[in-house]
Structure 1
Amino acid sequence: MTKATNRKVVTLGLLASLFVGALDTTVVSTAMPSISAELSGLSLISWVFSIYTLTTCVAAPIFGKLSDLFGRRAVFTAGLILFVLGSILSGASQTMPQLIWFRALQGLGAGALTPVTFTIIGDLYPGEQRAKMQGVFASVWSIAGLLGPLVGGYFVDHISWRWIFYMNLPIGIAAFICVFGFLHEQFVKKAKQIDFTGAALFTVGITSLLYALLNGGHAHAWSSSLILSLFAVSVVFILLFLYTETRVKEPMLPLSLFRNRMLNVPYMINFFGFCVTAGVMIYMPMWIQTVLGHNATSSGFTLVPMTIAWPIASNLTGRYMFRLGTRAFVISGAVIVALGSLWLATINTSSPYIYIIGILIVLGFGMGCLTTPSMVIIQNAVEWQMRGVATSTSSFMNTLGQTVGVAFFGTLFNSAVTNSTPAQLATGMHWVFIAIFIISLPLLSVIGLLPSQRKAVQTKQQAS
């Protein structure tokens, strides 16, 4: 007889795993000055972050599909082991190249942890409970964002930067015990056909694309032979990947996901939404420091209003979306984000600090209204055997949106700033803020494509 899943214990384990993954980015950012000083690799700092983003983005859809084939528990456990192992090795790094390679391993693990965690939540909690739990889990990112600078600063000042990685071990062990020991799945075990060709083509194509986006315009000119070659490679391999996915019996990324409006509309919403937030998160602290004259510590906490408003909106949405309708919250979120972006585009060098706080609250609240119903719509639109890859594709679109946003805004900013005078910096950031508003506009057009709830059942049948 199959054991019953202890939902509460598993949920605690999932919260712990998501927390360490979310905490990782802000903690590492805080510790980077100490890390670069000890490992003597100042010129390689950007790679510590870029390689993690790259491997996470590539791994997410692959692990999502594997969770559909082999079950959530096995894939979650594999991802957790990779993440913890990468953390331990990162903490033991003696050179910057070693740290970069170990961060790549850590990113592979994170590529499984986040999407599979949300997939398991989708499995454990039905209907309205699922929406509430998605809101709760969204709060983890906010808490991690607030605690990251404090935790990172404490370890750097009083112990060692290495413990920002070592601390993942005990939390990882606790998460492993909770999930592996208390999650019991029931699914039919049969011979599986893994799409190795599709996975390989996807990895090469997306890796080339992300490398070009992450390094074009600063490490290498957009017109350089390396960047152009990478874009050419990405186009060729992505086209080969798409062709392969139409031929294999068990595709790594079923293209039917992108023919289903109940899925592809939330994917587009996530892409544009996270593209907007990427620009805000990079250039808003810069505006605070260079234009308003605040110190680095103050600018580092600039995003706190957004990180508080986001989970508040996520929780409220999770509680009321089934009473008022998911489409109503998606529309409201898109409108709020567009209005916040418009407000952002109107600020100038004389705008008071309180304007910045208000803008971040509006944008955070709008994104909270968008992300929770988008995830619930995606998970409600597919059956169990497709939920993993559908959820992980959403995570992939989030990261891709952030990466494209960083590349686009960075190119725009650099083209406007020929020297680092305060006036030019302000002009460059103002152009970025206008671009953020322009990119927020597709959200308003995309939401009009979202099917009504009456069509949800029909759409779900098409997806499965």
Structure 2
Amino acid sequence: MSPGRSRQLVTMALLLSTFLAAIEVTVVSTAIPQIVSDLGGLHLISWIYAAYLLTTAVSTPLFGKLSDLYGRKNIFIIGSVLFVIGSMLCGLAENMTQMVIYRAIQGIGAGAVLPVTFTIIGDIYNYEERAKVQGLVSSIWGIAGLVGPLAGGFFVDSLSWHWIFFINIPFGFISVWMIMAFFKEKVEPQRKKIDYAGAITFTIGMTMLLFALITGGQGLPWSSPYIVLCLVGSVILLVAFYFIELKAEEPIVPLELFRIRDVAVSNAVGFLVSGVLIGINSYMPLWIQGVLGMKATDSGMSLTPMSIGWLIGAIVGGRLLIKSGARITATLGMTGVVIGAVWLASLSATTPIWVIIALMFLSGLGFGLSFTVFTIIVQSSVAWNVRGASTALHTFVRTLGQTLGIAAFGTYLNASIMSAVKEQGAAVTDEDLNKLLSHESAQQLSPDMMASLRSFLEQGLSNVFLILVVIAVISLIITLFMPKRNVQTAGRQADAANTSETSESTSSSNII
């Protein structure tokens, strides 16, 4: 088989793996209200996301470094298998504890699949080709977004939410087979140092921080010795993590990459805007199903316009980057995100559906433009031997932004709802709120109780949406600090340097 044909098949496998991870996000978003209603309370919703995102955040830089040391292929296969196993277990979960544990396993797999997918593309395509292919890969999120919400709504309304996880299994095995068959790389033996100390301190420190953010003020008061201990312990461990990374020979988070302005700006904006993204994906279904009283299928339809916008933005972004540069392209994208966030914060229970469709499309367009740019920039600014680490670092900070975002938003949402309940002096239980999130069980509530619960949820979500506006505006401001230099020229120079280094390096990748 010709190298060109093999490269196309490898690209198809990578697109499939991206679809695997992308559809997971959109399918789960529409099913979350039903999952929470069946397995636990509204106050536990953050853990379904946080468990997945935390393990993804921790494993992403680790697998990115391992891909530089042991080769992309092996890490991709390991990650895909773990993701499939985690998906299968999530589909079999019978309680919230099991769901959280299985989501953590699923997140470990995603931490390998996503960065290695982008890294392989960075290896087998030159700069001009890379911009187009990365745009195509990013657009898969849009395609998955079209299928995922509708499929998730269909499964929840017609079958069971368990099936939203089972659909990942065939996609995972097919992509693994294609990579095994058509992607070959030669990895020479080399000295390998794994930053276990960094991984351990970060994992424990972040887990303690997330526990404090999610539980504080809800399950336990903020003054509780357990919460204080978690906050103090997380600070100590994360500070220790920082100093470990400064001295580690092979750090999981290569801090020196932040000295490159392109990388620093891209990661800073990626961190913040990812919080906006998880906020919209997580809470728009709650708005549709809880505030408006619609079904899961309708909730899925509400995410579809954003997916279409993302698809268009990703395709246009890869081409606009070459013609107009990174700053202009990223600024246009972030402007769309800001306008969408402001529009989102203005929603009310009487807002026409066309307004929701328009703001979701505009937000998706902005995300598609900006995320495509940031991914290409962090790859084109470094040499081959750290490209995997640089890509993983960017995925890491984006996942970290989502992790901290969903934890903080969840805490703020619950606090806002409880505050509204106390102000009204209403007798509302967690079970009542759980019923509101399920279309069928909501019918069991009295009209007065349903109106009150929807009012409380609307107030809480509106407060969260206002926070998203603030974060989006800050992200736009930071984007303006992106260098004006010609990114296309820089990409070509990096490719030329990489070609020279690769011929002398201890590891090389090629397609059969």
Q: Give the TM interval when normalised to the shorter protein.
A: 0.7 to 0.9
- The letter for the 2-side match of 1:374 is F
Partner of 1:374: 374
CA distance in 1, matches of 2:166, 2:183: 26
Q: What is the alpha-carbon distance in structure 2 between the residues aligned to residue 297 and residue 102 of structure 1? A: 25
Query: Secondary structure at 1:226's aligned position in 2?
Result: helix
Instruction: Name the structure, 1 or 2, with higher relative contact order (CA <8 Å, separation 6+).
Output: 2
Q: Is the 8 A contact 2:58 2:199 kept in 1?
A: no
- Per the alignment, residue 194 of structure 2 pairs with 194
What's the counterpart of residue 252 of structure 1?
Answer: 252
Task: Kindly tell me the number of residue pairs found equivalent between the two proteins.
Answer: 460
Percent identity (aligned):
42
Residue 277 of structure 2 is aligned to residue 277 of structure 1:
yes
Q: Secondary structure at the match of 2:128?
A: helix
Q: How many Å separate the matches in 2 of 1:453 and 1:45?
A: 43
| Correspondence list, 1:210-359, <5 A | 210-289=210-289, 292=292, 294-348=294-348, 350-359=350-359
Q: What do the CA deviations read for 1:166-212 (whole angstroms, capped 9, x no partner)?
A: 44443322211211222122454312122222222222223323333
Counterpart residue identity of residue 433, structure 1: F
Structure 1 pair 186/262, CA: closer, same or farther in 2 (3 Å)? Answer: farther
Q: Is 1:438 the counterpart of 2:470 in the alignment?
A: yes
Distance 1:383 1:352, change over 3 A: same
Tell me by how many angstroms 1:257 deviates: 1.6
1:130 aligns with 130
Alignment of 1:451 onto 2:483: yes
Deviation digits for residues 367-423 of structure 1 (CA, Å, limit 9, x no counterpart): 111110111001101111111121112122222222333333334444443225544
Residue 60 in structure 1 maps to residue 92 in structure 2: no
Question: In the alignment, which of 40, 43, 46 is matched to residue 42 of structure 1?
Answer: 40
Question: What secondary structure sits across from 1:184 in the alignment?
Answer: strand
Residues 100-159 of structure 1 deviation map (CA, whole Å, 9 limit, x = unaligned): 433322221111111111111121222122121122112222232332344446666777
Cα contact 2:205–2:234 (8 A) shared by 1: yes
Q: Which amino acid aligns with 2:112?
A: A
Residue 87 of structure 2 is matched in structure 1 by: 87
**Structure 1 position 58, deviation (Å):** 1.5
DSSP-derived class of the 2:248 partner: coil
The root-mean-square deviation of aligned C-alpha atoms, in Å, is 3.3
Measured after TM superposition, the shift of residue 92 of structure 1 is: 5.0
Output the CA distance in 2 between the equivalents of 1:113 and 1:354: 36
1:278 partner amino acid: I
Q: What does 1:392-431 correspond to in 2, within 5 Å?
A: 392-417=392-417, 418-419=420-421, 420-431=452-463
Give the letter for the 2:398 counterpart: N
Provide the C-alpha distance between the structure 2 equivalents of 1:101 and 1:190, rounded to a whole number of angstroms.
35
Q: Is the 8 A contact 2:149 2:299 kept in 1?
A: no
1:337–1:90: structure 2 CA closer, same or farther, 3 Å change rule? closer
Q: Judging changes above 3 Å, is the alpha-carbon distance between structure 1 residues 395 and 211 closer, same or farther for their aligned structure 2 residues? A: farther
Amino acid at match of 1:42: G
CA distance in 2, matches of 1:194, 1:171: 31
Higher mean C-alpha deviation, range 14-23 or range 28-37: 28-37
Question: Given that residues 275 and 401 in structure 1 are in contact (C-alpha distance below 8 angstroms), is that contact kept between their aligned partners in structure 2?
Answer: yes
8 A Cα contact 2:275 2:404, kept in partner: yes
Per-residue CA deviation, residues 192-242 of structure 1 (Å, 9 max, x unaligned), is 122222222222223323333344444444443333322222211111111
Structure 1 unmatched runs, 5+: none
Q: Could you list the runs of 5+ residues in structure 2 that have no partner in the other structure?
A: 422-451, 502-512
Residue 336 of structure 1: CA displacement? 2.2
1 CA distance for matches of 2:22 and 2:363?
20
